[in-house]
Structure 1
Amino acid sequence: MDRTSRSEATPVLRNVLGSLIALIGATAAVWSPFRPWYDGRHGSDFRIEDLFNGLTDNGATLFGSLVLPMVFAGLLTLVGVVLCSRLLITVAGLVVLGFTLLWMVRQGQHAGELTAGTQGMGVGAASALGGGALLVLGALIMRGRARRVPAYEEDEGPLRPLPPTPPVEWGRKQRPGPEHGPEPPPDGHGPPPPDRTS
């Protein structure tokens, strides 16, 4: 494989690898609300408005819970993979990480502390954090959509040859020939004009 084909294949491989990692991260993020987040309570049971006003023990509807931002991030990831857009995948990762970290702050305020284990943070919150990190990592690996470069330049027509230049003889003064008339006298005084009376 020559150097040109290698340079063309490298962005494709990076896009494929980055897209695969991003899809794995999006899957983990979307699945995370259906698993325990804290003390056996699933992410689908936390209301979105409670993340801004303080957590309560009230339940939530499916798309009024943490399911909504995770599904939104998953859709952004799918669009980003199709369009090879690093920006969309990065935004999806930031959405997942942002809502997860905001939940951690509110949960710490609500419980007084954050612990891990059966009575603390569960696999759902860990899946959300890992999924957001994988989304950002996949966006960093990707090269994005390659810019289209024209394979050839527009033909402006055949080049016209320049007219040949006459050779120049350096250090030699060209005397005027018969077609240019007689050489003028150096002092400006020529021979006397011919006598027309005879």
Structure 2
Amino acid sequence: MVRNVLGSILALAGATAAVRSPFQAWYDGRLGRDFRIGELFSGAGVTDTEAELFGSLFLPFVFAALLTLIAVALRSRLLVAAAAVLVLGFTVLWMVRQGQAEGSLAVAGDGSGLGQGLLSSLGGGVALLLGAAVMTGRARGRGRRAARERDPVPPNAPADPEPYDPAPAPYGGAHPADTAELPAWQDQPPEQPAQPPAWQRPPER
């Protein structure tokens, strides 16, 4: 339970950082929302063309945030990990395409080069991965485990008695069941048939 809470907090913090990153500077003071998402998959690479909000890097990050919310509600480690891969994948892909367009990626203290938005995106993706690693997910068989915890078996509980199985009789001997005393109604010899009257008897020769 505690691990799920900590993992959910990390995942939500990472998703928040990822969603905020397009509104921060990514390179040379240019905001992440200004980069067109289609340029990451085109042969032309990154250009100076301005992008619409839902046609920019904001789109995959907001989708990752929605995926994170669903994952936290369902306590799904797999969905949190998928959101992390989505954020880190688009961030790394942008770095590759921007590096191809500029020839190299630089970091400068005067605001040129890589900016705070890229760091927020990378940090958000790492936080999502940590959240997926910390979470335990939905436990299976929770009802059976809770029942065992409510009614634990005492350590000195007697074992279940085995069914009665009489030992086989020794060779040549009688089975114990055969020597048992019979009930009174079974111990009486069978009654002899009554003799017919004399007038019905055949004459003796």
**Bucket of the pairwise TM-score, normalised by the shorter protein:** 0.7 to 0.9
CA, structure 1 residues 137+165, in 2 after alignment: closer, same or farther (shift >3 Å)?
same
Report the 3-state secondary structure (helix = DSSP H, G, I; strand = E; otherwise coil) of the residue aligned with 1:49.
Answer: helix
Say if 1:166 and 1:45 are closer, same or farther in 2 by CA, change over 3 A: closer
Q: What's 1:66 paired with?
A: 57
**In 1, Cα distance between equivalents of 2:90 and 2:167:** 81
Q: Report the Cα distance in structure 2 between the residues aligned to 1:23 and 1:47, rounded to whole angstroms.
A: 26
Aligned residues: 159
Aligned partners of 1:130, 1:111: CA distance in 2, in Å? 24
Partners of 2:73 and 2:82 in 1: how far apart? 15
Alignment of 1:3-82 (within 5 A): 12-53=1-42, 54-82=45-73
**TM-superposition CA deviations, 1:8-65 (whole Å, max 9, x none):** xxxx011111110111100000000000000000000000011111111100000000
2:130 counterpart of 1:130? no
Q: TM-score, normalization: structure 2?
A: 0.71
TM-superposition CA deviations, 1:98-130 (whole Å, max 9, x none): 000000001101111101131100000010001
Identity %: 56
Q: CA separation of 1:119/1:143 partners in 2, compared to 1, >3 Å: closer, same or farther?
A: same
Change (3 A) 1:146 1:41: same
CA distance in 1, matches of 2:61, 2:167: 80
Q: CA deviation at 1:165?
A: 3.0
Q: Which residue matches 2:83?
A: 92
| Unaligned runs of at least 5 residues, structure 1 | 1-11, 153-158, 180-198
Find the aligned partners of 2:25 and 2:100 in 1 and give their Cα distance. 19
Secondary structure of residue in 1 paired with 2:129: helix
Structure 2 residue runs without a partner (length 5+): 149-159, 180-186, 188-205
Q: TM-score, normalised by structure 1?
A: 0.73
Shift of 1:173: 4.0
Q: Which amino acid counterpart does residue 52 of structure 1 have in structure 2? A: F
Does 2:110 correspond to 1:110? Answer: no
Q: Aligned AA for 2:23?
A: F
